[in-house]
Structure 1
Amino acid sequence: MAKTKINQDTEGQILNAAEKVFQKKGMDGARMQEIADEADINKAMLHYYYRSKQLLFEAVFANAFSLLAPQLNKIINDDSSVEEKIKNFTNNHISFIAKHPYLPNFIIQELNRNPKFFEQIQKNAGFPSLEKFKTQVAAEVEKGILKPIAGEQLFINIISLNIFPFVATPLIKGFLKLDDKGFKKLMEQRKTEVSEFIINSIKK
């Protein structure tokens, strides 16, 4: 029992350390020795838990996604209106990415390298289901609350507007002449800007 607890504590320590290093250096720039130092363990122990940096990165992503997915699934499938869902989803999604800014680029990189990776993620408990959301969008279109739009297209619009600034952070910082503090402030404002933009574009 004690050994299991030690193993769990050490693994959690490694994942927290790896996330910090990945956030600072990215997947390519991070080194296993840096992660071991951050976790206050030796490199041999790090390799005992994770044989490669890729496996460690996937574990960090899976851990982060396991926290995000249930939140988003709950929002999408609650009994609120489509308008409220857009507001809540955008707020939660952008807040989460701001805390884990390496995730969007990792997802794109990993899907290009290993298309089956997402199939593994989909098997996780709490993975968001869009069926209720699509049905609700169709119903509100039918009632004349929303302009004609498919639930799938609406979801893609929301995801795209939320994620793109984090994928293109250096580009946006350069164009807008922003430092880290200015970018964070812009992303905080974006929680409202994105939801209002989408809602105004689909409401009758």
Structure 2
Amino acid sequence: MSKIDNITTEAKILAAAEVIFLRDGYSGSRMQDIADLAGMNKALLHYYFRSKDKLFEYIFDKKISLMFPKMEELFDENASFIEILSGFIENYIKLLMANPFLPLFVITTINKPDREDFLEKLPIFLKRRLIEFYQRDLALGKVRKHNPVQLIISVFGMCVFPFMAKPMLKKMSNMNDEQFQEFMNQRIPEVQGYIKLILEP
């Protein structure tokens, strides 16, 4: 594995920790692996970050902010719920294409019994805002009646599942990485089309 060069010591540690934690998860990661990738001894690593917990929490916070990107720019009062959801689908799939290990990293972390505190970091506002726009358009007759929570979970599932199952999908469809990326580009209008079929009156 190549060393991480030309950046500050702390930045080297964070870049190396991100690689190791995303690859191996919390339990499988060792501070020595992070030090080796950053090109330093473990004592120096501990000088900057005294524990694996603190370093992991920093990386998790950074990644959770990516996995649930700030969506305020999509919540245009003049936009329909379908338009907002379509914009979310496009942004979210493109984000996951750039960070394919992200869903597994976040999900395995928040599902650990001793990591319940990480649940508090999830952006509950996102679901609330989406439901508000859905209820507005439902009252205006612009969408059909559905359970909005079920709908939002379905959207997340349609976006995230291919990345969680990437090795299986590549094997089943005989795809290489480049073909998988193209497949996911094609999935954006596919999922958007499903949402329109479900929601349009």
Normalization by structure 1: what TM-score? 0.78
Is the 1:134–1:150 contact (alpha carbons within 8 Å) kept by the matching residues of 2?
no
**Residue of structure 2 equivalent to 1:164:** 161
Whether 2:72 is the aligned partner of 1:78: answer no
CA distance in 2, matches of 1:22, 1:179: 24
CA distance in 2, matches of 1:131, 1:47: 40
State how many pairs are aligned: 191
2:24 alignment partner AA? G
In structure 2, do the counterparts of structure 1 residues 30 and 190 end up closer, same or farther at CA, with 3 Å as the change threshold?
farther
- For residue 173 of structure 1, the aligned residue among 170, 174, 197 is 170
Cα RMSD, aligned residues only:
2.6
CA distance in 2, matches of 1:159, 1:116: 21
Is the 1:73–1:128 contact (alpha carbons within 8 Å) kept by the matching residues of 2?
no
Long gaps (5+) in structure 1: 1-8
Whether 2:193 is the aligned partner of 1:196: answer yes
CA distance in 1, matches of 2:105, 2:176: 23
CA distance in 1, matches of 2:189, 2:199: 16
Deviation string for 1:50-90 (max 9, x for gaps)? 522x5534322211223454523443x33221121112111
CA distance in 2, matches of 1:81, 1:60: 35
CA distance in 1, matches of 2:85, 2:158: 12
Is the 2:20–2:33 contact (alpha carbons within 8 Å) kept by the matching residues of 1?
yes
In structure 2, do the counterparts of structure 1 residues 100 and 128 end up closer, same or farther at CA, with 3 Å as the change threshold?
farther
CA distance in 1, matches of 2:84, 2:50: 38
In structure 2, do the counterparts of structure 1 residues 98 and 153 end up closer, same or farther at CA, with 3 Å as the change threshold?
same
CA distance in 2, matches of 1:110, 1:68: 13
Whether 2:145 is the aligned partner of 1:148: answer yes
In structure 2, do the counterparts of structure 1 residues 178 and 70 end up closer, same or farther at CA, with 3 Å as the change threshold?
closer
1:196 match: secondary structure? helix
Whether 2:15 is the aligned partner of 1:11: answer no
**Residue of structure 1 equivalent to 2:51:** 51
1:35 alignment partner AA? I
Is the 2:110–2:119 contact (alpha carbons within 8 Å) kept by the matching residues of 1?
no
1:26 alignment partner AA? D
CA distance in 2, matches of 1:13, 1:108: 26
Long gaps (5+) in structure 2: 1-7
CA shift for structure 1 position 15: 1.8
Is the 2:64–2:106 contact (alpha carbons within 8 Å) kept by the matching residues of 1?
no
Task: Give percent identity, aligned residues only.
Answer: 32
**Residue of structure 2 equivalent to 1:101:** 100
CA shift for structure 1 position 160: 0.9
In structure 2, do the counterparts of structure 1 residues 58 and 175 end up closer, same or farther at CA, with 3 Å as the change threshold?
farther
CA distance in 2, matches of 1:65, 1:108: 10
Is the 1:173–1:179 contact (alpha carbons within 8 Å) kept by the matching residues of 2?
yes
CA distance in 2, matches of 1:96, 1:107: 14
